[in-house]
Amino acid sequence: MAKEKPKPTVMTTKSEEKVTTSTHTNRMPLLFGDINYKMMLAGLVLILIGYGLMMGGNNADPKAAFPTEEIYSFRRIILAPIVIIAGFVVEVFAILKIKK
The answer to whether residue 19 is domain-embedded is: no
The answer to whether residue 3 is domain-embedded is: no
List per-residue pLDDT tens for the chain, 100 residues long: 566 666 666 565 555 555 555 566 678 887 888 898 999 999 999 999 999 999 876 667 777 777 778 888 899 999 999 999 999 999 999 999 887 7
CA distance 12 to 93: 42
Q: What are phi and psi of 32, to 5 degrees?
A: -115, 165
- pTM equals 0.65
The answer to whether residue 13 is domain-embedded is: no
What residues form DSSP beta bridges with 82? none
The boundaries of the domain holding residue 83 are 28-96
